[in-house]
Amino acid sequence: MTWLRALKETTRSGLTVERKRLEPLIALRGAAGLAVVIGVSLTLFGPAVAASSAFGAFQAAIATFQRSWRPRPELALASGTSLAISTFLGYLTGSHTLLFLALLSLWTFLSGLSWAAGPTIGLIASSNVAIMLVTVTLPGSLAAAAGHAAMMVVGGAIQAALVILFPVRRWGAHRDALADALTAEADYARRLRHDPHADFDPEPLMAARDAATVTPRQARTRPAELHGARGVAERIRPVLASLADPAVGVPEEGPERDRVREIMAAAGAILDAAARAIRQGEPVKIPPAAVATLQTPDTGAILTGPAQRAAKRLAALLRDVVETAGKPPDKAAALTTTATTPRANPPPTPTPPTPLLRPTFPALLPAALRAMRTELRRRHESPVTRHAIRVTAVAATGYLLGTWLPLGHGYWAPMASVMVMRPDFSQTYSRAVARFGGTLVGVTLATGIVQLAHPGTGPSAALAVLCAGMMYLLMRTGQVAAQACVAAYVVFLLGMGGEQWTQTVPERVVLTLLGGVLAMIAYAVYPAWETPRLRNRLADWLIADGRYAAAVVDRYADPVGKACPDVRGALLAARDARIAWQEAAARAKNEPVRHRGLSRAAAGDAEDALAQLGRVAMLMEAHLPDRDATPVPAAARLAQALRKSTEDGAKAVRERRVPKWEAVRKALDEWDGEGVPDRVVRRGAGLLLTTLEELSDALDTAPPPMLVDGSETGAQTHRGGQTDRGAQTDSGPQDPEQGPTAR
């Protein structure tokens, strides 16, 4: 992508206002907390302290809106306290330019590194640095600075208290995450009716797992319907895929396929009902037609073998989901079978699952420090470290320029830079455009109101609270709307302290533009492009998928039953690698750099191939043998070949070579003479090789050799007669038939 097109895309993104679900009650609660802080501070201490403490309450409320699964009161307290510490330390050095510049550089560098610990911590740290640049100018003495810092802590405490006293949809985010996972699986079941090879993005399941990782205190108070349903949902997905796939399930047409389509439709309806119940905290209302479909008595006669096992397993899992979501067990029992022989005895009461625990806030600090230290060790290879260096240099430069320019309020330039800069290109540039555009709109509207109404201290405080409430309400609709509200909020807040609009508005517009330009120049001069690292991301995903497939295949050689921690761990690692690839590919999409060896078409084909590799392993996982099953010794050799070949293949991907899979092919050839008790494992093993070969096809982008007359050579054979990738372009295979996994 060219620079011109990249700038157009980021500008459009920054100025876009999206339609999002608004949360007026939460916005009202945040504005009420801000109003309480400003009112108390004005009454007891005066406008200067009120302005300073208002920033603490304002930032604490913003922290409660972040995408985090931690308790909101903890986020508010952490934000208010960290801002108070930053402000007090900044005031101690504020009278000495060089000393303050050193503190600003250190604080900014640490805030940049804090993105390694997660976006929530990174955003809070960056906001603290930016707001500190304003608040250090408000106190007039050391005692006043201590008082201002104390009021910031009070502001965070008040916001935390309001969250506790007036909860709005408590556990709402956790409910939404679990409901979204079930809804995604319901949609997946319906898509499988028409496309047995439909892809499934595991991101909703990963978000649900992240939401299910709670603190010890949350684990004690979590609603019952949020216990266990996520684990059941994880097991439903491979069963759905194995039931629909013709390679291990039923033929593509015929009465068996018709029956599978009916089961898929019923599963989708039940999963949707469970999702609605969990989202709203109500009992499940099971559609009668779906229950009737699962109770049809001819299922056992129509489906046989692996398909029948998958149908039984799906019905049992759907019953578990319904029970967990809030349906009384006696009514959920209708989902126990798919018209097979009912269970003679009810199942024993399941043991409550062990909760996934995340560290408490005190324990989070060592983990954050470890993550930051890891990024530092990577040095220039780390986007986070590069971001920390960039933002530090820009903040120091902006502060010096703002101090030297005869405009006053020079802190606006570094403040704008710190607020817009992010570790990736698109966010930095889109936020810079949005901040400048929003600032123009906000200060224009606020200035017009000030000139027309000439509000005093009280009305200015009320207008500031109103603007903050609007910002809380519109925060998720886009940066430009939020920045407009923030700009107006600051004008009214500083006006409450006695500053005239003519002292703040003109220089703020100019210095905000300067800060945004500095941020954009810094990224262009010292970038952290994702495009050159795409091959490494792809290689990491290949290794993770290979280990997952090997772990699954190994269980056929050594049956241990359905509970396989090694398979589960490998699956989670493969999902993490896939999401890392997808995020990297999304960031690289708008970067103004050449593909450097991995074109967009090749990247898309390789992504499809690795997604299918994980999918085939998932199909095999759905039919893992019981402990008393007959071992398949050849599976152990195949598993070893998969591990070794995918590691070698990842090395080839990094070195821009086409990976080879002779070891896997040899293991399959040696398997042919060895009896296999279940067709799933042998067919699945063949599909694994097919997907690996598709990956090689996607990465083989060398132009075909030409004859003397200028025409292409004939098809060169390899892999037992298949057309060589050398006779194809990097846009994908010319032959639409790519074996059982063709999409």
The count of other CB atoms within 10 Å of the CB of residue 219 is: 16
When pLDDT is cut at 50, 70 and 90, the band that residue 339 belongs to is very low
Using the structure block, give the residue that is written with the tokens 């309450």.
57
CA angle 177–182–185, rounded 5-degree value? 125
Using the structure block, give the residue that is written with the tokens 């000030």.
450
CA distance 699 to 717: 17
CA distance 527 to 385: 11
Residue-wise pLDDT for 660-705, tens only, equals 999 999 988 887 645 455 567 778 888 899 999 999 999 987 655 5
CA distance 600 to 682: 34
User: Is residue 471 predicted with pLDDT exceeding 80?
Assistant: yes
What is the token pair recorded at 679? Answer: 């067709």
**Do β-strands 722-723 and 717-718 pair in parallel, antiparallel, or remain unpaired?**
antiparallel
What is the token pair recorded at 658? Answer: 């086409």
Q: What mean pLDDT do residues 22-47 have?
A: 91
When pLDDT is cut at 50, 70 and 90, the band that residue 331 belongs to is very low
Which parts of 454-500 fold into alpha helices (H)? Answer: 457-474, 479-496
User: Is residue 537 predicted with pLDDT exceeding 50?
Assistant: yes
User: Is residue 340 predicted with pLDDT exceeding 60?
Assistant: no
**pLDDT given at position 503:** 55
When pLDDT is cut at 50, 70 and 90, the band that residue 725 belongs to is very low
CB 688 within 8 A of CB 681: no
Q: Which residue, among 228, 260, 230, 262, has the nearest Cα to 242 in the 3D structure?
A: 260
CA distance 560 to 568: 13
When pLDDT is cut at 50, 70 and 90, the band that residue 504 belongs to is low
Considering only 353-367, 613-627, 639-653, which range has the smallest mean pLDDT? Answer: 353-367
Residue-wise pLDDT for 593-630, tens only, equals 876 668 888 889 999 999 999 999 988 888 888 888 88
What is the token pair recorded at 490? Answer: 């600051």
Q: Which residue, among 641, 643, 578, 663, has the nearest Cα to 614 in the 3D structure?
A: 578
CA distance 483 to 431: 9
Q: Which residue, among 401, 420, 402, 419, has the nearest Cα to 411 in the 3D structure?
A: 402
Q: Which residue, among 375, 382, 388, 381, has the nearest Cα to 522 in the 3D structure?
A: 388
CB 317 within 8 A of CB 335: no
CA distance 659 to 655: 10
| Terminal-to-terminal C-alpha distance of the chain | 28
Residue-wise pLDDT for 156-200, tens only, equals 999 999 999 998 888 888 899 999 999 999 999 999 998 888 888
Taking each helix axis from N to C end, the angle separating 229-244 and 203-212, rounded to the nearest 10 degrees, works out to 160
The count of other CB atoms within 10 Å of the CB of residue 440 is: 17
The burial of 197, by beta-carbon neighbours within 10 Å (0-12 exposed, 13-18 middle, 19 or more buried), is given as middle
CB 460 within 8 A of CB 492: yes
**pLDDT given at position 683:** 82
CA distance 497 to 50: 8
CA distance 152 to 83: 7
DSSP string, 322-383: HHHHT--HHHHGGGS-SSSPPPSSPPPPPPPPPPEE---HHHHHHHHHHHHHHHHHHGGG-H
339-345: list long-range contacts, CB under 8 Å, 24+ apart. Answer: 339/294, 339/295, 339/296, 339/297, 339/298, 339/299, 339/300, 340/299, 340/300, 340/308, 340/312, 341/300
Considering only 84-88, 101-105, 402-406, 612-616, which range has the smallest mean pLDDT? Answer: 402-406
CB 699 within 8 A of CB 604: no
Q: What mean pLDDT do residues 704-710 have?
A: 49
When pLDDT is cut at 50, 70 and 90, the band that residue 216 belongs to is confident
Q: What mean pLDDT do residues 381-396 have?
A: 92
Q: Highest-confidence range of 279-288, 402-411, 635-644, 668-677, by mean pLDDT?
A: 635-644
CA distance 645 to 664: 7
User: Is residue 65 predicted with pLDDT exceeding 90?
Assistant: no
CA distance 735 to 743: 12
Q: Which residue, among 189, 233, 235, 188, has the nearest Cα to 208 in the 3D structure?
A: 233
User: Is residue 296 predicted with pLDDT exceeding 80?
Assistant: no
- List of residues 6+ apart from 560 with CB closer than 8 A: 627
Taking each helix axis from N to C end, the angle separating 600-621 and 229-244, rounded to the nearest 10 degrees, works out to 100
Considering only 120-134, 357-371, 491-505, which range has the smallest mean pLDDT? Answer: 491-505
CA distance 197 to 246: 9
Using the structure block, give the residue that is written with the tokens 């970067």.
591
DSSP 718: E
Q: In this prediction, what percent of the chain has a pLDDT beyond 90? A: 34
DSSP string, 601-637: HHHHHHHHHHHHHHHHHHHHHTTPPPTTSPP-HHHHH
Kindly report the pTM of this predicted structure.
0.83
b/e 150-169 (16+ beta carbons within 10 angstroms → b): ebbbbbbbbbbebbeeeeee
User: Is residue 733 predicted with pLDDT exceeding 80?
Assistant: no
